[in-house]
Chains A and B, each alone.
Chain A
Amino acid sequence: MAKKQIDSVMQLPVMPLTIEDMTWNKTGTWRLLTPVQQDKTAPCRAACPLGQPDPQMIHQLALGDPAAGLALLMAYNPMPGVTGRLCYHPCQAKCLRKELDQGIAIQSLEKSASEADGAPVLERQADTGKLVAVCGSGPAGLAAAYFLGLAGNSVTVLEPGRTAGGFLTQAKAGQLPPEVLAKEVERLAQVAGVQIKTQAAPNFLAGMDLVLVDESAYAPDSAEAKAVLALVKGGPEPLVLSAEGGFKASQVAHALALGRETANQAQAALGLTAIFAQPELGPVATAEDLSLGFFAPAEASEQAREEAARCLSCGTCNLCQQCALSCPDACCNLDEAGGTIEIDLYHCKGCGICSYECPRGALVMENMP
């Protein structure tokens, strides 16, 4: 927009009021520092063995959309209903809300998201034509099967026992009811298109492109293990999922992480690209990054949505729009369609108020024009 031309005194307003908007004035050329959204990693996420995006998941719960929260979790974790019950939740130990009052009940919220109706639809890669068998259905084996399924492989899990779940079937019913475990297994199979056969004899492994063996299901020197390995002789070297000393029930997230990592190794063995790309997590947010003054004390709640609303979303933009409220030049604007804050760099003078005011330290001033 061009600046309005005024040719005579009588064209001026009587009252000194605005005669036009100021968009013609490209004040962005004055800028020395530029605000950039640079999400830090929330300490809960950094502490998670699976690196799952807890603040983002909790934000969806706060918005009243647990299904969206579940979809976020299942991109990282095939069994959130299990981890939401058994995991030793190192996330909660790091919660920065404790600086203000009480930490967030992150595990309860994870469990709550896992109880969302239906199964999320995750992107499944095109069919690779590869046949993969996973022997043993412990959490590591199931996680490997899940991610390999999402990668477009035809995956079959062969569980010699009656029930899928490996050591999870040994968990106390009070902690993990069998029907919950069954539902979790069923859901991950549905999401990733994995076939799970229980009481299965490993008699068709010869035709497989790759075999994975979950040691938590087969003791290393057991007859079953030897039988499986004997069957794949002549085929590709099987990948063994093993952890020294095995896993306790509370370490289920570590078992799942092992399975996820092995899925990537399996992809490489199959000559395919890695399926799970470890997200690039920035520096971990600290209490110093937060402006705690923005947050009112709020008591912990049994209601998931209320509890979720207490999350500070440390280091992570949750579209609170404090920057938009604070910007003296209306340069920070919510892009509702994109779910992002757009910064109008034609007019942003680089004053830094948005960065200073960001309650969660997600906006930084970069030394660039």
Chain B
Amino acid sequence: MKRVIMGTETAALAAVLARVQVVAAYPITPQTVTVEELSDYIGKGELDAAYITVESEHSAMAACVGASATGSRTFTATSSQGLALMHEMLHHAAGGRLPIVMLNANRALSPPWNLYCDHTDSLSQRDTGWIQYYCCDVQDVMDSTFIAYRVAEKVMLPVMINLDGFYLTHTSEVIDVPDQEEVDRYLPPYDPADKVDVDNPSTYGCVCGADLFSSLKYRRQMETLAVEQAWQEASDEFAAQFGRSHAPVQGHNLDDAEVVIVTIGTAGGAAQLAADALREEGVAAGSLNLAMVRPFPYESFRRAVSGAKHLVVLDRDVSFGAEGIVAQEVKSCLYGKSSAQVHCYIAGVGGMDITEEILADMARESLGGQKQGLELGDSIWIKVLP
């Protein structure tokens, strides 16, 4: 069924179609609509789930951890400061191997206060062990939620679905809303081998000595690295059923591209248009939407940019004292594997619009064109005061 629907509403509707059983969330701009919609769905009996009201995001995730451990399909949503407050519990969810799915509306971290899009919130949670997926449009929000549960419950790891604050959370688009039967066919009920059971008592998150600790971490790393493949398969299966693909790496005109614009989130659309405009100028340009940041899709990424000479990486974030976080990730992926030059652009933080023209200019600059911004360390900052 086609529907005009906003990003945050879509996230709630996707959770309903995924038949989540427990929701514990705390509202925060720009995620609020998702939480309101879900409480409505549950309150009206349209979703058979428990809604746990909490006093903070730390408690929200703690409640999700407990709920998921009982074998319930669990959902939450947050943003920015809320995500930061969850930090400790994020480790607990991933270390506990609990397949929770969470929406994060990407928003700047204060101070100074700013409610708009910025990726520092989720990227600074890279090392918590969560699978991180960044949506490029509203359809992606709907579809990736189903894929997320399918992958999470297979590999027993939580997934963070990231939506650019306002650009995606508050944009309405025409999307295809699948039937419940179709979703049920793709996403069977969650039935884990181990779950909290009073008749079979066990301690979850028990103490572990040094003798087994590193082995458990090793196994988790092994199974986290395998997520790239698992997600790709789940995406392929989704494509076979629904005709839409949501792979970890989504390329546009990459086959012969010498310059590739790398983005995460909604800038992927502008990057495609920028690449197309550059093609018209005779530049062999392509764009790459890096949908999955954790685990980093090493294989797909290296394969996708194997012919490129320049990678123009947009970072809507910064790791202070280093450079843009995505650029760091890209460099780490390509080190010793590619001779391509990686150009790090820090732009669009705190809600500054990233247009097709800005991205095209970055690509032109990387090929020797006019200087666009201010160089600082290994990054170039766009639209900052001199």
CB-CB under 8 A for A12 and B97, given A17-B206, A18-B206:
no
- List the A side residues contacting B219 at CB < 8 Å: 9-10, 12, 14
User: How distant is A261 from chain B, measured CB to nearest CB, in Å?
Assistant: 57
Chain A binding site: helix, strand, loop or mixed by DSSP? loop
Residue A13 at the chain B interface, CB threshold 8 Å: yes
**Complex: chain A residue closest to B156, CB-CB:** A14
- List the B side residues contacting A16 at CB < 8 Å: 95-97, 204-206, 208, 216
Residue A121 at the chain B interface, CB threshold 8 Å: no
Which of A10, A12, A17, A18 gathers most chain B CB within 10 Å? A17
Residue B194 at the chain A interface, CB threshold 8 Å: yes
Contact status A9-B97, CB under 8 Å? no
Residue B212 at the chain A interface, CB threshold 8 Å: yes
Contact status A12-B202, CB under 8 Å? no
Q: How far is the CA of A15 from the CA of B197 in the complex (A)?
A: 14
Residue A296 at the chain B interface, CB threshold 8 Å: no
Q: How far is the CA of A16 from the CA of B205 in the complex (A)?
A: 5
Interface residue count for B (Cβ, 8 Å)?
20
Contact status A12-B204, CB under 8 Å? no
CB-CB under 8 A for A17 and B212, given A9-B218, A12-B219:
no
User: How distant is A36 from chain B, measured CB to nearest CB, in Å?
Assistant: 29
Residue A6 at the chain B interface, CB threshold 8 Å: yes
User: How distant is A64 from chain B, measured CB to nearest CB, in Å?
Assistant: 31
Chain B binding site: helix, strand, loop or mixed by DSSP? loop
User: How distant is B211 from chain A, measured CB to nearest CB, in Å?
Assistant: 9
Interface residue count for A (Cβ, 8 Å)?
10
Q: How far is the CA of A9 from the CA of B193 in the complex (A)?
A: 18
Q: How far is the CA of A10 from the CA of B202 in the complex (A)?
A: 19
User: How distant is B199 from chain A, measured CB to nearest CB, in Å?
Assistant: 15
- List the B side residues contacting A14 at CB < 8 Å: 97, 156, 193-194, 219, 223
* Binary per-residue interface labels of chain A (1-28) against chain B in the complex, 1 for a CB within 8 Å, 0 otherwise: 0000010011011111110000000000
Which chain B residues (41-57) contact chain A, with CB distance < 8 Å? none
User: How distant is A231 from chain B, measured CB to nearest CB, in Å?
Assistant: 78
User: How distant is B202 from chain A, measured CB to nearest CB, in Å?
Assistant: 5
Contact status B222-A15, CB under 8 Å? no
**Among B203, B212, B218, contact of A6 (Cβ-Cβ < 8 Å):** B212
* Binary per-residue interface labels of chain B (213-229) against chain A in the complex, 1 for a CB within 8 Å, 0 otherwise: 00110110011000000
Q: How far is the CA of A6 from the CA of B214 in the complex (A)?
A: 13
User: How distant is B213 from chain A, measured CB to nearest CB, in Å?
Assistant: 9
Can you give 16 contacting A-B residue pairs, CB < 8 Å?
Answer: A9-B219, A12-B215, A13-B194, A14-B97, A14-B219, A15-B96, A15-B98, A15-B156, A15-B194, A16-B95, A16-B97, A16-B208, A17-B194, A17-B204, A17-B205, A18-B202
Closest 5 CB pairs of A and B: A18-B203, A15-B97, A9-B219, A17-B202, A18-B202
